[in-house]
């Protein structure tokens, strides 16, 4: 009787250990995937920030050009 109980407990412990190991493996895989996703998102964020800065510079240049054109047109209008 004692041997049967020990074997059952041993099987239960092995089963619990296998389940635990499987869950740990799943967590490791999920963590690795999240790290990859996080890295990809950081790269994308960096690219978007660079694009935003570039567009802001282009916008400033265009704004100055338009302001200069308006000033020149106003100057031409006041000369007439």
Instruction: For residues 46 and 62, give the distance between their C-alpha atoms in angstroms, rounded to a whole number.
Output: 24
Alpha helix (H) residue ranges in the chain: 2-79
pTM reported for the whole predicted model:
0.63
Instruction: For residues 40 and 43, give the distance between their C-alpha atoms in angstroms, rounded to a whole number.
Output: 5
Which pLDDT tens digit goes with each residue over 35-53?
Answer: 999 999 999 999 999 999 9
**What does pLDDT average to in each consecutive run of 10 residues of the chain (80 residues)?**
57 80 96 99 99 99 98 86
């Amino acid at each position: 009787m004692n041997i049967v109980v020990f074997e059952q407990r041993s099987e239960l412990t092995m089963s619990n250990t296998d389940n635990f190991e499987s869950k740990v493996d799943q967590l490791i895989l999920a963590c690795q995937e999240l790290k990859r996703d996080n890295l990809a998102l950081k790269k994308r964020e960096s690219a978007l920030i660079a694009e935003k800065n570039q567009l802001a510079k282009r916008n400033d240049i265009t704004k100055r050009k338009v302001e200069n054109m308006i000033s020149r047109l106003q100057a031409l209008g006041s000369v007439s």
